[in-house]
Amino acid sequence: MVVHSADCGNCDFRLGKVPQKTFSPGAMRDVVRFRLQYPRYVGDARGDVFTEANVDKSIFNWTTTPSIGQIPQVNTTFAYLAGLYGIMNEHQVSIGESTCGGRLVSTPVSNGGKALFDVSELTNVALERSTSARQAIQIMGDLAEQYGYYGADWEGPMAAMEAGEALAVADASEAWLFHTHPDDSGASAVWVAQRVPDGHIAAIGNQFVIRQVNLTDSDNFMGSKNLVDVAVRAKLYDPAEDGAFDFTKAYAHPIAPDQYYATRRQWRVLMLANPSLNLPAETDVYGSDYPVTAPVASPIDPATLLAYLRDHFEGTEYDMTKGPAAGPYGNPDRYEYKHMHNIDINGNGNMTKATVLTGHFERAISIFRSSFSFVTVANQANLNLGHILFGQYGPHATSYVPIYTKVHRVPTLYSRGSLHRYDSTSSFWAFAVVGNWASRFYMYTRPMVESVQVQLETALLGAKAKAVAAHVELLSNDDAQLRQFLTDSSDAFAATTHAAFVELFGRLVTTFHDGYHMQNLTGANTIAAASLFYPEWWLHSVGYFKQQTQPSKTPDHEYK
């Protein structure tokens, strides 16, 4: 299984199905420049979701995405589910992404540089052409070396912090970690991959984690031959002074001063999976106290990974639902300035960005600015049952739905909409309004939201999943009917979940508003409005109990 959360406040949240295609000998494949915002791609090469006809031109007159280069095409490409990056193909090869800081920055050919590929296009090509995780890794590594790799940003203050990429790559038998980074020429790349042993878990929180590398151990490592040479040439590594080569120390750009932005999430996942590890929450900037992978205490299923995705460090000293920063109602959201380039903080008096940099909020696994998240689930016994558990908006405010890789198309509820305009027929917005309203009185609303999530997901991951599996067995010899059944099933699951969250939003607004918990809404003659008055600790913190200055004379009338 692979887990990914697309934590991006201004990204294209749509999911699409890229169909299988056949090409004539000598055909070429276009490569496009990286774009996160809607529409991330416009054209006819990636299925109906991304065609020009399906772009909302009432917002802007977008046209076909231009090619910035080409590579030789293969005869047949495989179909796959695609988000901001390639997610999972029909051979159950799956990929999850995490942008990382790097010490070298390269520029795409479209902007005067020498690099053709970003990680999004690498994942797309890999899923078009691979039937195993190892093959996908080799394809991406070879393309990055041959044609050059550039990061998610290549100019401005964030370029170094987005220069590298880390991926989790899996199939039905193996899981790997993959890192790539520009080389010192800007025209190639370095890359490395490490296998996650059976029974182990790994976590990446926007920082490289692979350390020592042994390319002679081909069972557990893959990588480019230039790993050390580039680091030495770029003065990132000195064998005489630094000892054994360490990929992360050589190529990772330190996240400073807010180093726990990355390492705290890594710590949390490893400790959730195996508390007996007793890993320290405090570590150095590279998380050197943490293993790259760690054994899990007990088998982990998809539902457990969904719980990890929704985590805010609850029950630890870093619990984001507690303390002054959570406000009187335990809101775990912490708004950020760092991940948007055009933040105006003048509303905060004369505070400068330099001043902001000296502070720190914890960075939870579940975050409000997520476009979508997923868990990929491969099935060793039946290729037809490969699927993703997909949810839009923040994990804590969404509900996950199985979408099978062999659908004709993804549910329209997940393939339409944008951040430009509210759309009641887009599931992103159904989840977003629930998340935004629930955050106002989080300690009171969380049980209501969680009960809906549990009810929906228990059914979808339990009885309904078994029913789908049984019916798929009956259709194993009829591919057309199989695909239609999986398409209809995914559609039905999405529609049920969407309707439940539309209803949930109405209940939240009716039950919790204007500082009241409205009770006896049904089955009683009168409504009971219970005040959600502030907790005593918070009242003390804002000076509520300070002695008031006495007025000079008695008011003419009492306040009512």
Q: Which two tokens stand for residue 454?
A: 């549990």
Distance (Å, whole) CA 468 – CA 407: 13
Q: Are residues 287 and 180 in the same domain?
A: yes
Q: Are residues 90 and 189 in the same domain?
A: yes
Q: Are residues 469 and 351 in the same domain?
A: no
Residue 175, CB-side half-sphere exposure with 13 Å CA sphere: 19
Q: Is 468 helix (H, G, I), strand (E, B) or coil?
A: helix
Which among 511, 533, 549 is the end of a domain? 511
Residue 555 lies in a domain: no
Distance (Å, whole) CA 181 – CA 207: 12
Between helix 479-511 and helix 427-438 the angle, nearest 10°, is 30
- Residue 159 has φ and ψ, to the nearest 5°, of -60, -50
Q: Are residues 442 and 356 in the same domain?
A: no
Query: ∠ CA 430-418-149 to the nearest 5 degrees?
Result: 125
Which among 479, 494, 511 is the end of a domain? 511
CA dist 336 → 259, 348, 363 (Å): 15, 13, 10
Q: Are residues 210 and 176 in the same domain?
A: yes
Between helix 133-147 and helix 119-129 the angle, nearest 10°, is 130
Q: Are residues 326 and 398 in the same domain?
A: no
**Position 536 confidence tier, pLDDT thresholds 50, 70, 90:** very high
Residue 351 lies in a domain: yes
Q: Are residues 264 and 407 in the same domain?
A: no
Question: 232-246, 255-269, 309-323, 372-386 — which is least confidently predicted?
Answer: 255-269
Q: Which structural domain range is residue 45 located in?
A: 2-333+344-366
Q: What is the pLDDT of residues 302-338, one digit of tens each?
A: 999 999 999 999 999 999 999 999 999 999 999 987 5
What letter would DSSP give residue 213? -
Q: What is the pLDDT of residues 442-488, one digit of tens each?
A: 999 999 999 999 999 999 999 999 999 999 999 989 999 999 999 99
Read off the amino acid at residue 383: L
Q: What is the pLDDT of residues 155-187, one digit of tens each?
A: 988 899 999 999 999 999 999 999 999 999 999
Q: Are residues 180 and 317 in the same domain?
A: yes
Q: Are residues 299 and 391 in the same domain?
A: no
Residue 267 lies in a domain: yes
Check the CA dihedral 454-460-461-464 and report its sign: positive
pLDDT at residue 383 is higher than 60: yes
- Asked if 132 and 97 count as a contact pair (C-beta separation under 8 A), the reply is no
pLDDT of residue 351: 73
Q: Are residues 201 and 297 in the same domain?
A: yes
pLDDT of residue 259: 87
- Asked if 73 and 128 count as a contact pair (C-beta separation under 8 A), the reply is no
Check the CA dihedral 275-276-280-286 and report its sign: negative
pLDDT of residue 209: 98
pLDDT of residue 557: 54
Distance (Å, whole) CA 226 – CA 217: 17
**16-18 and 80-82 strand pairing:** antiparallel
Q: How much is the mean pLDDT over the chain?
A: 95
pLDDT of residue 559: 46
Q: Are residues 88 and 134 in the same domain?
A: yes
Residue 528 lies in a domain: no
Residue 476 lies in a domain: yes
Residue 138 lies in a domain: yes
pLDDT of residue 257: 80
Q: Are residues 356 and 388 in the same domain?
A: no
Cis peptide before 108 (omega within 30 of 0): no
Domain count for the chain: 2
What letter would DSSP give residue 530? E
CA dist 268 → 208, 231, 282, 399 (Å): 16, 31, 11, 22
Q: What is the pLDDT of residues 476-533, one digit of tens each?
A: 899 999 999 999 999 999 999 999 999 999 999 999 999 999 999 999 999 999 999 9
Q: What is the pLDDT of residues 2-45, one digit of tens each?
A: 999 999 999 999 999 999 999 999 999 999 999 999 999 999 99
This prediction has a pTM of 0.94
User: Residues with Cβ < 8 Å from 520, sequence gap 6 or more?
Assistant: 526, 527, 528
User: Residues with Cβ < 8 Å from 30, sequence gap 6 or more?
Assistant: 45, 67, 69, 70
pLDDT of residue 356: 78
Give the residue from 166, 94, 165 showing the smallest Cα distance to 130: 94
